[in-house]
Amino acid sequence: MLKAYISYRKNAVNAHGIHSPFVFEFYNEVVLKAKALDDEYIQHVRRTLLKDNREIEITDLGQGSKKGNSNSRKISELVKVQAVDRKYGRLLGRLVSYYKLDTCLELGTSLGIGTAHMAEYAKKVITIEGCPNIYSEAKKFWSPRFGNIEFVNAEFSSVLPQVLSSMDKLDLVYIDGNHGYEPTMDYFKQILSKAHNDTFIIFDDINWSEGMRRAWDEICSSKEIHVSMEFFRMGIVLKRHEQAKEHFVLKF
């Protein structure tokens, strides 16, 4: 992780180092303006969840947490360990709002913080969570505010083909669960066949493990992908076949 961070800091560029007009605009309009996004309601819920000491039983369908594998967890701990942080949450929100994206898909709801960031601006967000108790909590917290979220309780691979074929259009996918090489490559291949030329395909935790990094590097070198952009935590790829294939390491 430290080695990956040093390499990221050494290679990351800001707007001055970007020659692609699409990526230049993305950097100036999305990355640099993410911080100004009004997400007060989401932060209010996050603060409430951080004080919630109820324990729930967890069904772990992913690669496990690096911070312990006990089967029962406090809601407050889940938020600390799993939820997208404010900086990256706002990046998701700004991305959806700036490009006016209609339909988003999330793999890994957890307590729905990332889901909510997208749902503020999207027409519809479908989010999949394997653990029944986490799914119920997320649904309870966010359904009253967002009628545009469809919560699905299932293991990703058991439901992904049906979910993808039920969607008219896929504008953004946020893959944030089961961070291993094989599952990540499998989700990517399925999503790629549904993605249009401008679908944002986002991977969280690209430096979480050797397997995730290998998957990310392979995804970037796929000939179907012409634009790949990475921050330290997240990676984003698009087909954008009109553009020359290029990879960008961006300061954030």
Ligand X SMILES: C[S@@+](CC[C@H](N)C(=O)[O-])C[C@H]1O[C@@H](n2cnc3c(N)ncnc32)[C@H](O)[C@@H]1O
What are the residues binding ligand X (CB under 6 A)?
Answer: 61-62, 82-84, 106, 108, 110, 113-114, 128-131, 134, 155-156, 176-178
Closest CB to ligand X among residues 114, 235: 114
Q: Return the beta strands (E) in 108-155 as ranges.
A: 124-129, 149-153
Closest CB to ligand X among residues 20, 63: 63
Burial 197-231 (b: 16+ CB within 10 A, else e): eebbbbbbbbbbbebbbebbeebbebeebbbbbbb
Q: What single string gives the DSSP state of each residue in 43-91? A: HHHHHHHHT---EEE----SS--TT---SEEEHHHHHHHHSPPHHHHHH
Closest CB to ligand X among residues 131, 227: 131
CB of 134 to ligand X, least distance (A): 5
Q: What single string gives the DSSP state of each residue in 99-111? A: TT--EEEEE--TT
CB of 221 to ligand X, least distance (A): 25
CB of 177 to ligand X, least distance (A): 3
Closest CB to ligand X among residues 15, 167: 167
Closest alpha carbon to 176 in 231, 108, 112, 240: 108
CB of 79 to ligand X, least distance (A): 8
CB of 165 to ligand X, least distance (A): 18
Closest CB to ligand X among residues 18, 138: 138
Closest CB to ligand X among residues 40, 168: 40
Q: What single string gives the DSSP state of each residue in 208-251? A: SSHHHHHHHHHHHH-TT--EEEE-SS-EEEE--TTSPPEEEEB-
CB of 113 to ligand X, least distance (A): 4
Residue 180: DSSP 8-state: S
Residue nearest to ligand X (CB): 114
Ramachandran region, residue 216 (left: φ > 0; alpha: ψ -120 to 50; beta: rest): alpha
